[in-house]
Structure 1
Amino acid sequence: METKILWIFSNLGDAALLLPLALVCALWLRSVDMRLAIRWAVLLTAGMGLVGLSKILYAGCGLEVPAIEFRMISGHTMLAASIYTVAAGLLAGGLGRAWYLLGAAAGLVLAALIGASRILQDAHTPAEVVAGWLLGGLIAFLLLRHVFAVPRKMPRALVAGLGLLAVSSIAYGHHAPFQRMIEHYSWWLCRGLGLS
């Protein structure tokens, strides 16, 4: 039973589920202000770039910080902390500006549970999960403070919520191949750059 619960939470943090949810959030933000959708895309891409770089440097070049057992930023946790926090913040923001903080907090709690599942599955160390959670939380904060900097009620929250639910139903349980690609190609990249 414990393994099943860990698997459920771990799947909630997979890029195959979260990236489509991020796209739904971007489309929803676009309906409010195109600049918010662009900001979301840039912030999330930067976060994924940092996660990817940390994974390449470890898998291909062997770089790590043994003193704190840090090899790479947890991608599951970073994506969960950014995307669930933004999605829940936007959904709760549909009730009014004051509610978005409650939604964002719920997203961060879910991301912490996903991160804990990654630790219990020995996929990441606590330092790697904390790094992912902080990075994802920062991304969400940098977006949500702009979304709700002016009093606004997120439009069409019910439609967006149904879109998020539909995408989640289809994408849950699938696995993005990013980790396999990083493990396969990073050695060649590091070798080509003279880092290994």
Structure 2
Amino acid sequence: MLSWMGITKVGGSTIMLPAAVAIAAWLLAARAQRLFWAWCLLFGSALLLVAASKIAFVGWGIGIDELDFTGFSGHAMRSAAIIPLLFYFLFQQKTTAVRQLAVVSGMAFAALISLSRVVLDFHSVSEALSGWLLGGAVSLAFIWCAESLPKPVLNRTLMAVSFVLLLAASFARPIPTQLLIDKAALLLSGHSALAAESRRHAVEKCCEPPAQLPAP
């Protein structure tokens, strides 16, 4: 049975960033230039927004205490932006109803990954939900563009090779994204120390769920 840690790993940068590159490669190979640039703009903007929200917190202490918000969940955003598109492209030549069901299934899987971030206490509900909504906006905006343009003929061999490589990437060590965020915050703020760091950020650096406190 797949554990919560196994589920949350799917949304990590080690798997999702190569998947984003794979989508771009499929579109380039299909000569779908407009969709390629649409994908790069949408996903790139979302990545920057996630990074900016996290840098603002650790660099300057900017967050929303009432919502326990210290930045968008990157796992949730990446999952909701990418997984529905992977499902969409797999069933691209099917009927509209099948494509819609594939996208809904992808969003549901991304929601499960987002939930895992809350269950493991890596993110608050507001961080996971906002990340999922941001990623969902990316995938749905891209699909709207794709449905309004001629369908690109994707190279199925390239897609198959990409999925094999993504499977191999699942065994790689996690990318220390939180450490990179910390370094960027120190560089941009000019501070010698982080302005703020939540307990969840410290846990995420260790890539381990927090220990459960005994009940009083």
Q: Tell whether the structures are fold-level matches, with TM greater than 0.5.
A: yes
State the partner residue of 1:99. Answer: 98
Question: Does the CA contact (< 8 Å) of 1:97 and 1:148 recur in 2?
Answer: no
- Given that 2:27 and 2:154 are in contact with CA atoms closer than 8 Å, whether structure 1 keeps it comes out as no
Matches within 5 A, 1:1-196: 5-30=3-28, 31-150=30-149, 152=151, 155-156=153-154, 158-174=156-172, 175-191=174-190
User: Radius of gyration: which is bigger?
Assistant: 2
Query: For each residue in 1:69-111, what CA deviation from the matched residue of structure 2 results, as whole angstroms up to 9, or x when unmatched?
Result: 1111000010000011111111111324443212211111111
| Inter-partner Cα distance in structure 1 for 2:181 and 2:19 | 23
User: Across the two proteins, how many residue pairs are aligned to each other?
Assistant: 191
- Do the aligned partners of residues 98 and 158 (structure 1) sit closer, same or farther apart at CA in structure 2, a change above 3 Å counting? farther
Segments of 5+ residues of structure 2 without an aligned counterpart are: 196-216
Task: Give the TM-score taking structure 2 as reference length.
Answer: 0.81
> Following the alignment from structure 1 to structure 2, what is the Cα–Cα distance between the partners of residues 18 and 106?
17
Instruction: Report runs of 4+ in structure 1 exceeding 6 Å deviation.
Output: none
Q: CA RMSD of the aligned region, Å?
A: 2.1
Task: Say which is worse superposed, 182-191 or 67-76, in terms of deviation.
Answer: 182-191
State the distance in 1 between where 2:187 and 2:27 align. Answer: 39
Query: Is the Cα–Cα contact under 8 Å of residues 43 and 139 in structure 1 kept in the other structure?
Result: yes
Tell me how far apart the structure 2 counterparts of residues 5 and 165 of structure 1 sit (CA, whole Å).
22
What secondary structure is seen at the aligned counterpart in 2 of 1:60?
Answer: helix
State how far apart, in whole Å, the 2-side matches of 1:163 and 1:101 are: 25
Q: For 1:15 and 1:76, locate their aligned partners in 2 and report how far apart those are by CA, in whole Å.
A: 8
CA deviation map 1:110-135 (0-9, x unaligned): 11111111111111001001110000
